[in-house]
A = this chain, B = another copy of it.
């Protein structure tokens, strides 16, 4: 949990996650979309990887990253735990999870759509 919240805490890393939401991207492609240096992005990717939020697959000399949302379940559960007593119904639209106890393996987002 600490890994996830820590990873989420940085705007660059949040942006990376959003980028990976729609398509898998290589390290270089990701780095190109930021003003900071490539090594800096590389380390952000490392943080995300260690938090389990992304998975990297070697593809020749490239390294393709894909999103892994599973670790977010715990965070979502924590959020739900906090918001429940208040306007629960209201948040339902935005929130979306109470999982917290279910699914844990499911999707794995292994779409090999790298048509870059």
Contacts and interface: CB of A to CB of B under 8 A. Distances in A.
B22 A85 contact: yes
A63 interface: no
Given A5-B14, A79-B79, A82-B18, A99 B89 contact: yes
How many copies the complex holds: the figure is 2
Interface in A2-19: 2, 5-6, 8-9, 11, 14, 17-18
Contact of A73 (B1, B77, B94, B98): B94
B69 A95 contact: no
Interface string A29-64: 000000000000000000000000000000000000
A87 B67 contact: no
B112 A85 contact: yes
Given A11-B2, A18-B82, A21-B81, A88 B92 contact: no
Contacts of A99: 88-89, 91-92, 94, 98
